[in-house]
Structure 1
Amino acid sequence: MMSAECDLAARRPCHAMRGESHAFLTLTVADVPAAELAAGVAAQLQGAPGFFWRAPVILDFTPLPASAAPLVSAVVDLLRAMELVPAGFRAARAEIRRAALATGLGQVLSTDDEDRPSHDPFDGPPRRPTMIVNHPVRSGQKIYAAGSDLVILSSVSTGAEVLADGCIHVYGCLHGAAFAGVDGDQKARIFVKSLDAERVAIAGLYVNGLEFSEEWIGQPAQILLADGYLRMERIAR
């Protein structure tokens, strides 16, 4: 393997992605009926409705058990109905994390020890057998390997999406979008024989293909998450 490395997230100053501190509201969600939660939030908003209007909110789902996954989308819907803006989430369990990602929320990555769950968030059901796709993935198609790695033995066309909770391997050309670590696994990687993607992402952190340097187009590469950035490394043909 060649050691050349490309920091995708910081390549262009006009599209710089960096960490900053923001004073977002945080709503800790308990395992209670959605109607009860709605009543509590509404009561709090009555004190200063103008202050909270269209305010971004981080949802802390850490207290929720895996069985409460259906509550996630209900909470997001009720906040939007109250004209709040659910922007991100924290979660301790994979089932809750998958439900939150499915609503379009971004995962809040934290390095604070106090924010980390006391158990491994990826403990739970074992990974399923690797999903292997023998045919090209055409434009408009979406393939999701839930709980497993995904292997594409052909190419992924422009307008197609391939997703996996684990790693993604594309043995043809990746023209479409590839999202690895969908359930929040930051150790997931994307391996491609020929890179020309519209978008790639790992654990919710993404970069558009327009940000790729020309030297990487059509090249074999792996994409990984390191030190909070998406990075690219060359692999042998």
Structure 2
Amino acid sequence: MTAVVEEKSVLEFKGRMLMMTVLQLNTLDAAQLHQEISQRLDDAAEWLQQAPVVIDLPETLTLETADLMPAVDTLRNLGVNLVALARNDHIDEATASLVGLGTLSLSGGRDIPRRVDAPRQETPKQETTKAPDSSETLVVEQPVRSGQQVYSRGDMIVLAPVSTGAELMAEGNIHVYSNLRGRAMAGVRGDTSARIFCQQLNAELVSIAGHYRVAEDLPDAHRNQPVHLSLQGEAMHFTALK
């Protein structure tokens, strides 16, 4: 009898969508950064304190490595979870490596093409990505409990409560016909026309095409109320549902 030994790989690549926070710095003055970041972190939710952060430096900002290093050290010492610098004409892999960070392109985040079943004709480029086919709508009838993550390649309709710690992610719109306490992220592949509808807004986080609001930033007038969320430019707009 011959024994068969199954070899297991020492690693495995897995696809997973992660939420990152972009921190735009308009100065590299370490003292100013320490004062303002300390205050922001004191007021932030625990989730935001632990979020991976990408530093975005405006191209108009004069960049000196001698100033960048103490600024990055200041953020690290305050507990900011730095992972990368946003690439631009002045930031490349060599500059980022000097401060122990990687680089990440922010400009290309919305250019991921959608999977299609048949070829389609070229259309003029627009600001928003084509909305997903309604045939891909996912209907969720059971409560979404803490720790669960639900993903839809099109729209998502949830007919039950969404608990704190649960996560909804849809390439299109999200409809919650109950209490939304967890996180709801619509237009996750860049569809800026995506919307979020819910009967009771008590979310930890709401996001459309990467633009998000955490619980502390939700308008008081719309808390625990029926609401419709949409993007106007880069600002999230809240409209009461009647």
Report the TM range for the smaller structure's normalisation: 0.5 to 0.7
From the superposition, tell whether residues 189 and 126 of structure 1 become closer, same or farther in structure 2 (CA, over 3 Å): closer
**Does the 8 Å CA contact 1:24/1:57 hold for their aligned counterparts?**
no
1:163 to 164, 169, 185: 169
Structure 2 distance, partners of 1:154, 1:80, is 47
Structure 2 distance, partners of 1:176, 1:208, is 10
1:138 pairs with 2:156: no
1:85 pairs with 2:103: yes
Q: What are the superposed Cα offsets for residues 83-117 of structure 1, whole Å, 9 maximum, x if unpaired?
A: 33326232574348xxxxxxxxxxxxxxxxxxxx9
The match for 1:23 is 59
The residue correspondences of 1:203-222 to structure 2 (distance < 5 A) are: 203-222=209-228
Q: What are the superposed Cα offsets for residues 8-54 of structure 1, whole Å, 9 maximum, x if unpaired?
A: xxxxxx79xxxx981289xxxxxxxxxxxxxxxxxxxxxx9989987
Q: Which moved more, 1:81-90 or 1:164-173?
A: 81-90
- Bigger helix share: 1
2:186 to 161, 180, 185: 180
From the superposition, tell whether residues 214 and 138 of structure 1 become closer, same or farther in structure 2 (CA, over 3 Å): same
Structure 1 distance, partners of 2:177, 2:134, is 22
Shift in Å, 1:58: 3.0
Which amino acid counterpart does residue 57 of structure 1 have in structure 2?
A
In structure 1, stretches of 5+ residues that fail to align are 1-13, 26-47, 61-75, 97-116
- Larger Rg, first or second structure (1 or 2): 2
TM-score where L is the length of structure 2: 0.55
Structure 2 distance, partners of 1:227, 1:184, is 13
From the superposition, tell whether residues 49 and 219 of structure 1 become closer, same or farther in structure 2 (CA, over 3 Å): closer
Structure 2 distance, partners of 1:137, 1:186, is 25
Structure 1 distance, partners of 2:60, 2:111, is 23
Shift in Å, 1:219: 0.3
Greater relative CO, 1 or 2 (CA 8 Å, sep 6+): 1
Structure 2 distance, partners of 1:167, 1:125, is 9
Instruction: Quote the sequence identity (%).
Output: 31
**Does the 8 Å CA contact 2:143/2:160 hold for their aligned counterparts?**
yes
The match for 2:25 is none
